[in-house]
Amino acid sequence: MKTIGICGAGTMGAGIAQVAAASGYKTVLFDVNNAILKLAEIRIEKDLQHLFNKQKITEEKKAAAWAQLSFTSDIRECVADVIIEAIVEKKEVKLSLFKQLAQWNGPNTIFTSNTSSLSISSIATCLPHPQQMAGLHFFNPAPVMKLVEVVQGKLTSDKVISDLVLLVQTFGKIPVVCKDAPGFIVNRVARPFYIESLRQFEKGLGTVEVLDRLLESKGFRMGPFRLMDLIGNDVNYAVSCSIFEQLGQPGRLEPSYIQKEKVEQGQLGKKTGKGYYNYEDDQGA
């Protein structure tokens, strides 16, 4: 495997592209939105510079990573040995993208989705070679977080899974192979962390700051509200709804009306400058 195509240059796609390029893969980052592509370019350049300033990478490594990257809004250029899709968490949109990608990529290309909650087996059905499709679920921020869930769908071949495990290791990350179940492992376990905290907030049992601080004082690196803002409230709400539906609507995991309101108000978190907290001063940071 030499080339990686990443679809979606948002929060996750840009970070994954940086990881792939820094690991020596020729990496093409594709997005339909040129403004987001430009922001991703700026973000990756800044992050590489930051790593250099902190003496975590050399000048040569920084230049080599940058040289591996290209940015495009033309899907025909998204041709690679491995495709990593990181676009919006909406099944129909992902299906439509994979169908288009299959027109430009051959039968040996491995197709993966960074979906947090959607069924890999059901996405794979839209591809001519569904055995070539798996989940590759990175965590946010992708350049920092070590864990990657490698999700085996019903039809994914064992060879694809072992190739992806090796790929993730070359990224310097820790692969965990898991089954194709709602939320896989981490997002399923994490769901009550968000939902229960939202329930307490709904009932006025604490402010966002207090609830976050209480959990942070117990050892969590980030409280639930700070973390939802980092993830993106649109993404977190979509994942909450998807897992709730797939598990048969258990009351304890019912998404909160507050999540819905945040999405309707465009308060998506860090990426829009406002969520549960205000980030207007760190825009572009």
- What's the token pair of residue 210? 């207090």
**44 belongs to the binding site for ligand NAI (CB under 6 A):** no
Among positions 114, 132, 152, 240, the unique one binding ligand NAI when judged by CB under 6 A: 114
State which residue, 41 or 89, has the beta carbon closest to ligand NAI: 89
What is the distance between the alpha carbons of residues 151 and 32, in angstroms, rounded to a whole number? 26
Give the total residue count for the chain.
285
**6 belongs to the binding site for ligand NAI (CB under 6 A):** no
**259 belongs to the binding site for ligand NAI (CB under 6 A):** no
Q: Identify which of 184, 190, 186 has the alpha carbon closest to the alpha carbon of residue 253.
A: 190
- Beta carbon of residue 190, minimum distance to ligand NAI (angstroms, whole number): 11
Q: Identify which of 150, 145, 37, 132 has the alpha carbon closest to the alpha carbon of residue 87.
A: 37
- What's the token pair of residue 137? 């679920």
**88 belongs to the binding site for ligand NAI (CB under 6 A):** yes
Residue 174 CB-half CA count within 13 A: 4
**116 belongs to the binding site for ligand NAI (CB under 6 A):** yes
How many CB atoms sit inside 10 A of residue 259's CB? Answer: 20
**152 belongs to the binding site for ligand NAI (CB under 6 A):** no
**8 belongs to the binding site for ligand NAI (CB under 6 A):** yes
In the complex, the residues that contact ligand NAI under the rule CB under 6 A are: 7-13, 30-33, 36, 86-89, 93, 97, 114-116, 137-140, 231-232, 235, 239, 271
Looking at the annotation, which residues are catalytic?
116, 137, 149, 187
